[in-house]
Structure 1
Amino acid sequence: MCGIAGLFDTRGKQNFATELIARINNVQAHRGPDELGLHQEPGVAFGHRRLSVIDLATGQQPLFNEDQSVVILFNGEIYNYQELVPELKALGHVFHTRSDTEVIIHAWEAWGEACVQRLRGMFAFAIWDRNQQTLFMARDRLGVKPMHYALLDDGTFIFGSELKVITAHPGFNRAIDPLAVEEYFALGYVADPRCIYRGAHKLTPGHTLTLRHGQPVPPSKPYWDVHFSLDNAISSRDAQAELMQRLQESVRLRMIADVPLGAFLSGGVDSSAVVATMAGLTSTPIRTCAIGFDDPNFNESAFAQMVADRYHTDHRLEVVKSDDFDLIDTLAWHYDEPYADSSAIPTYRVCQMARKHVTVALSGDGGDESFGGYRRYRLHMAEEKARGMLPMGLRRPLFGVLGRLYPKADWAPRMFRAKTTFQALAMDAAEAYQHSMSVMRSDERAALYSDGFKAQLGGYGAVQIFREHAARSGTDDPLAMIQYLDYKTWLVGDINTKVDRAAMAHSLEVREPLMDHQLIEWLATLPNSHKIQGQEGKYLLKKAFESKLPHEVLYRPKMGFSVPLAKWLRGPLAQRTRDSVLGPRMLDSGYFNPATLKSMVTQHQSGQRDFSVPLWSLLMFDAFLRQAGDGRAPQ
């Protein structure tokens, strides 16, 4: 786990200044505090910050092949690297380290761009092949590891693990992309491959990018996608047995490390399943880490303790006060872009605590997406059934009118909060799911934005992201469709971004066995009945672990990793909310309707409405603007 940074001259072979590559590399020193490495030659400059995890003695980067003609920068882990070594040796390749990094170099020499097909893991890497005069970049299938890049006006191609590598270059133009602002206020993050800045991009997960001197930067190319066939006729009992075998393999591969290793244990089904599997693979007590909250409405630590007691783990718990909101500016710096998921706060804290005891931690991230665990999945399937009863020509006008007329009732019992449901029933499946995932609905964003900013958007809406992915999904099954959408949007843009930045802020490597691509490919063959039965999500996972985990852990209501936002914004954060949302930086930015901002703050703090999520999004946007510069909307 590391930080990488590089410069490539697309027009010629300029010599990049050592001071420049060192400076842009060192802005992400937190990602790799153990070692610093640089490599320069005409037209190329590579920088690396290392967090030593595997092959502590000889795994330094940049790393070269035998004749020094190929050099690599690598962030991540290749879990099947030990399996590839004998095959590559048989092809004549000579190894000088025990690192997974060297495996990638020889895989490139052996198989070229197709090398990524052989790699099982989380990764973002760049290879410079001097003989082929080629820069080759790749990102893992599910976007666990980040990669950002930009083409500067002078022809310099710059890339790095974090966006701050790009913005540290004096030639980068920080003009904000209005479409990215729309995506942020719709989703709470800027969706891949867009960045908050017009000139920067994220390499799309499951894609590669190949550059050569004197040639234009081409579009990235996909090398993987998930296909939902849903045609596996396996029985429930056999599926449970095969799931256990696949999980054991996935966890075993992720327990390879030359440094202290442990696991997050939230008390939820996913992390508990990972810990139970780990305990079955070693006789040494597993180090487990949990965060508790002094507010019982947000505290799952008792359930984590049940699992820790059952498997006799070396369990560490830290209780966080319910007013732990002093990380706003810290998070804005680490995330580089506006990022609105408030669970970044407890995630930051659990990573901070875990790093005191381990260097590598396994997590349960990805379980909800793959096993059908979200409540929104069941709601969407019910809505799809209702949508199927009427043609769009009738649904859109009928439910559109009801959605506009029905009052917003955040205060009411859920069964009476029909406005959002009416709005969703007037939409197609992709639009309805994006609607359900929004931190602010389309009508709310329309009221939020200034007329000038809406003109800048030119009719663009974040729903286009969902429609484009839906068109590529290859399925019209309601559950498979939204699982696919989550793999492409929520999992990458929210979950993986949150965990990567929070973990690397503390030089902690996090591994996700439930995101193993081979496991996901297998789960995508299973019928929906293995994932959701009635009102029970994660059916297969829960049944498989009934003999291994307490019933209270498996079948309790889902809590999530959240914080008391509404309470904060009416109490200890009330003044900061007013000062930020209604301050000159936001009001003068050109993005917002001042009357809407004032109404949201007033109604929320009076208790009339719950605008906690939109207001938190605005708070984090203001924190981003404060660190990014004046942040004015483009004219």
Structure 2
Amino acid sequence: MCGLLALLTDPSADVSEDLVEAVSDASHLMRHRGPDEPGTWHDEAVVLGFNRLSIIDIAHSHQPLRWGPAESPDRYVLVFNGEIYNYLELREELATHHGAVFHTDGDGEAIIAAYHYWGTDALTRLRGMFAFALWDTVEREMFCARDPFGIKPLYMATGRSGTAVGSEKKCLLGIADELGIDTGIDERAVQHYTVLQYVPEPETLHRGIRRLESGSYARVRAGEMPEVTRYFKPRFAAKPFEPGTEQSRYDEITAVLEDSVAKHMRADVTVGAFLSGGIDSTAIAALAMRHNPRLITFTTGFEREGFSEVDVAVASAEAIGARHVTKVVSQAEFVEALPEIVWYLDEPVADPALVPLFFIAREARKHVKVVLSGEGADELFGGYTIYREPLSLKPFNYLPRPLRRSMAKVSAPLPEGMRGKSLLHRGSQTLEERYYGNARSFSDAHLKAVLPGFRSDWTHTDVTAPVYAESKGWDPVARMQHIDLFTWLRGDILVKADKMTMANSLELRVPFLDPEVFAVASRLPLEQKITRSTTKYALRRALEPVIPPHVLNRPKLGFPVPIRHWLRSGELLDWAYGMVDSSGAGELVNLAAVRTMLDEHRNGASDHSRRLWTVLIFMLWHAIFVEGSVTPQIKEPTYPVQL
């Protein structure tokens, strides 16, 4: 787990010492991703900067890493963020069948050798999380890639002087002037953010900076635009259970999860686990205990009754025999940390759960250097309650299309919150129209009020239509899962997981998001994912021997955050009014409308908490990255090199 920055210059530009220094300075902006060891390398065309968080082969595997075959031993130079969990198996296969010779005991050389001998097919053989840039000194080409699910980020920007890629956008902004990158605000991305609560890939809020999408690679040559190719195209290909095979399929799920956790435990440092008390994190922690009986688990809660799952997590930890650590967060701590958190994010993400994640990561880093977590289980196994919506709306499918359309007109004039209004409205729509992921807080009317530049032709379908086109003929739940893989998972869940843990120099691993686990989960039929009474049906059945009974059928937990209450009184409300007055975002946000929403929420007339949070986080982002009116106090805790 590390931070990388790579620059391939235009043929007319020289790699001067000033440019090398600029890249080095920009790399320092993400020192939190790898405080153990900085590194740089350059030739006449390329500059590579790196910050290492040493996890595997600590004494060696320094980066930038050079490797090549016997006839050209220094052909490739790699900067790599992530972990390859099957690196031992890959190294053995490459040595046995291709004669590859390795000089370290780490996973970086496995990536280079796999690419040399297998080309782009190597990416489908890598079992792990990764974002890397590989410079080929012979072909004079930079090869960049991200893992299938987008666990690790990679930003890209091309200007008049070359192309840069990096683990964090702030690093590209740091060399934007040298490259001639357009750093103007992308108003279309602002509207997408406001609707979705995150900025969808490949967009960022800066016009000239984009992200390499999950499951894609790019070839970059000097003086040319990057050529991007998708190599991972997930398919939910349901395979009905044959009579009498139910238990064998559940056993298959258990076996593949146990194997994934075992490989995710590979490290030369201490590995812990996040534990919310729900089925996903408890399953990961329980399986990890089989490999480390002294496992430490971590959870967080708030100083407000009803907004803490600490007791449930403690009970779960006791049931599996893990040592447990908790962190309770006050409202004052919450507010104080917001500028620092948004600076680490690079892009606004309006998910309040990232704040407690930041605090528990900071606490966990005092004890361990790596944690396991349960992200991805909901998308793979059908865990969101909204996935049951097709069951409740199924009767509408039998109505003639014109009649369904007329129901929308009937529901429109009904008062907000009136029983049946939402059902009629949703029943009138197709799946493509009504479902665009887990974030649905802004109607068009709200958007028009808040965004002066609102355009009706900038909609969620910009993001979802191409994804839906790939899933025609699938069952509706599989189509919703497919949408979430390309939207909510990589736009919200994995961004906050990466950014909040890396902010604290902590590596987070997600065993559910493993290609082998996905291969098993993707074959589950609808009835093994969603029923009228539960979610993740097959996963729950598979985990019966693994996790405590009190956890097995609990609803989804996560880290609940009391923003609805805190935005009605106290430090957070004061901060919110102050942000409206000082963000300088008046050209992009209707400040009077936001102030009215705050007033209505404060006096209890309406619950605007999620909409307010979305806009306020954007305004804080604007104050930091555009106006410069807020300067976060970045705290860099000093940790031992090895834990």
Q: Do 1:542 and 1:554's aligned partners in 2 also have CA atoms closer than 8 Å?
A: yes
SS at match of 2:3: strand
Q: What is the deviation of 1:395? A: 2.2
| 1:617 is aligned to 2:614 | yes
Question: In structure 1, what residue type is equivalent to 2:7?
Answer: L
The aligned residue for residue 30 of structure 1 is 32
The structure 1 residue matched to 2:439, chosen from 437, 440, 444, is: 437
Deviations 1:265-322 (A, max 9, x none): 111110000111112234x321111213333322212222222212221221222235
SS at match of 1:143: coil
| 1:100 is aligned to 2:107 | yes
The aligned residue for residue 9 of structure 1 is 9
SS at match of 2:436: helix
Distance 1:449-1:386 versus aligned 2 partners, 3 A rule: farther
SS at match of 2:435: helix
Q: Do 2:301 and 2:356's aligned partners in 1 also have CA atoms closer than 8 Å?
A: no
The aligned residue for residue 636 of structure 2 is none
Using the alignment, how far apart are the partners of 1:146 and 1:435 within structure 2? Answer: 20
Distance 1:280-1:337 versus aligned 2 partners, 3 A rule: same
Q: Which moved more, 1:156-165 or 1:575-584?
A: 575-584
Q: What is the deviation of 1:535? A: 1.6
| 1:134 is aligned to 2:141 | yes
Q: Do 2:437 and 2:480's aligned partners in 1 also have CA atoms closer than 8 Å?
A: no
Q: Do 2:155 and 2:212's aligned partners in 1 also have CA atoms closer than 8 Å?
A: yes
Q: Provide structure 2 residue ranges, at least 5 long, that are not aligned to the other structure.
A: 630-643
Q: Do 2:33 and 2:505's aligned partners in 1 also have CA atoms closer than 8 Å?
A: yes
The structure 1 residue matched to 2:163, chosen from 135, 148, 157, is: 157
Q: Do 1:425 and 1:432's aligned partners in 2 also have CA atoms closer than 8 Å?
A: no
The aligned residue for residue 532 of structure 2 is 534
The structure 1 residue matched to 2:567, chosen from 565, 569, 574, is: 569
The aligned residue for residue 449 of structure 2 is 447
Q: Do 2:279 and 2:554's aligned partners in 1 also have CA atoms closer than 8 Å?
A: no
| 1:177 is aligned to 2:186 | yes
Q: What is the deviation of 1:630? A: 3.6
Distance 1:242-1:70 versus aligned 2 partners, 3 A rule: same
SS at match of 2:175: coil
Summarize the alignment of residues 309-388 of structure 1 with structure 2, pairs less than 5 Å apart.
309-321=318-330, 324-383=334-393, 385-388=394-397
Question: In structure 2, what residue type is equivalent to 1:156?
Answer: G
The structure 2 residue matched to 1:86, chosen from 81, 89, 92, is: 92
Question: In structure 2, what residue type is equivalent to 1:126?
Answer: A
SS at match of 2:7: strand
Q: Which moved more, 1:322-331 or 1:66-75?
A: 322-331
Using the alignment, how far apart are the partners of 1:552 and 1:295 within structure 2? Answer: 24
The structure 1 residue matched to 2:304, chosen from 288, 295, 312, is: 295
Using the alignment, how far apart are the partners of 1:61 and 1:179 within structure 2? Answer: 38
Question: In structure 2, what residue type is equivalent to 1:509?
Answer: E
Q: What is the deviation of 1:597? A: 2.4
Q: Which moved more, 1:308-317 or 1:194-203?
A: 308-317
The aligned residue for residue 229 of structure 1 is 237
Distance 1:100-1:13 versus aligned 2 partners, 3 A rule: farther
Q: What is the deviation of 1:390? A: 2.7
Using the alignment, how far apart are the partners of 2:134 and 2:438 within structure 1? Answer: 40
Q: What is the deviation of 1:224? A: 0.9
Distance 1:475-1:490 versus aligned 2 partners, 3 A rule: farther
Distance 1:463-1:165 versus aligned 2 partners, 3 A rule: same
Question: In structure 2, what residue type is equivalent to 1:85?
Answer: R
Question: In structure 2, what residue type is equivalent to 1:264?
Answer: F
Report how many aligned residue pairs link the two structures. Answer: 615
Q: Do 2:451 and 2:590's aligned partners in 1 also have CA atoms closer than 8 Å?
A: yes
The aligned residue for residue 399 of structure 2 is 390
Q: Which moved more, 1:569-578 or 1:289-298?
A: 289-298
**What TM-score does the superposition give when structure 2 sets the normalisation length?**
0.92
Using the alignment, how far apart are the partners of 2:42 and 2:539 within structure 1? Answer: 49
Q: What is the deviation of 1:136? A: 0.4
Q: What is the deviation of 1:328? A: 1.6
The aligned residue for residue 412 of structure 1 is none
The aligned residue for residue 144 of structure 1 is 151
The structure 2 residue matched to 1:262, chosen from 253, 267, 272, is: 272
Q: Do 1:195 and 1:201's aligned partners in 2 also have CA atoms closer than 8 Å?
A: yes
Q: What is the deviation of 1:104? A: 0.6
Distance 1:329-1:607 versus aligned 2 partners, 3 A rule: same
Deviations 1:454-508 (A, max 9, x none): 3xx4721123211221112344311000000011100000000001000000000
The structure 2 residue matched to 1:70, chosen from 67, 76, 87, is: 76
Deviations 1:407-450 (A, max 9, x none): 223xxxxxx55444433333221220127632312332123222
Q: Do 1:298 and 1:559's aligned partners in 2 also have CA atoms closer than 8 Å?
A: no
The aligned residue for residue 629 of structure 1 is 626
Using the alignment, how far apart are the partners of 2:225 and 2:302 within structure 1? Answer: 52
Q: What is the deviation of 1:604? A: 0.9
The aligned residue for residue 559 of structure 1 is 557
Distance 1:420-1:23 versus aligned 2 partners, 3 A rule: farther
Q: Do 1:582 and 1:597's aligned partners in 2 also have CA atoms closer than 8 Å?
A: no
Q: Do 1:140 and 1:206's aligned partners in 2 also have CA atoms closer than 8 Å?
A: yes
Q: Provide structure 1 residue ranges, at least 5 long, that are not aligned to the other structure.
A: 410-415
Question: In structure 2, what residue type is equivalent to 1:579?
Answer: G
Q: Do 2:345 and 2:499's aligned partners in 1 also have CA atoms closer than 8 Å?
A: yes
Using the alignment, how far apart are the partners of 1:170 and 1:125 within structure 2? Answer: 21
Question: In structure 1, what residue type is equivalent to 2:221?
Answer: R
Using the alignment, how far apart are the partners of 2:611 and 2:294 within structure 1? Answer: 43
Question: In structure 2, what residue type is equivalent to 1:82?
Answer: L
Q: Do 2:583 and 2:619's aligned partners in 1 also have CA atoms closer than 8 Å?
A: no
Distance 1:168-1:420 versus aligned 2 partners, 3 A rule: farther
Using the alignment, how far apart are the partners of 1:583 and 1:417 within structure 2? Answer: 40
Q: What is the deviation of 1:255? A: 0.3
Question: In structure 2, what residue type is equivalent to 1:253?
Answer: K
Q: Do 1:12 and 1:213's aligned partners in 2 also have CA atoms closer than 8 Å?
A: no
Using the alignment, how far apart are the partners of 2:382 and 2:208 within structure 1? Answer: 36
Using the alignment, how far apart are the partners of 2:596 and 2:421 within structure 1? Answer: 20
SS at match of 1:340: coil
Question: In structure 1, what residue type is equivalent to 2:127?
Answer: R
Distance 1:421-1:594 versus aligned 2 partners, 3 A rule: farther
The structure 1 residue matched to 2:485, chosen from 474, 484, 487, is: 487
Question: In structure 2, what residue type is equivalent to 1:259?
Answer: V
| Aligned residues: CA RMSD | 1.9
The structure 1 residue matched to 2:63, chosen from 43, 61, 64, is: 61
**What TM-score does the superposition give when structure 1 sets the normalisation length?**
0.93
The aligned residue for residue 519 of structure 1 is 517
Q: What is the deviation of 1:69? A: 1.6
SS at match of 2:327: strand
Using the alignment, how far apart are the partners of 2:205 and 2:473 within structure 1? Answer: 31
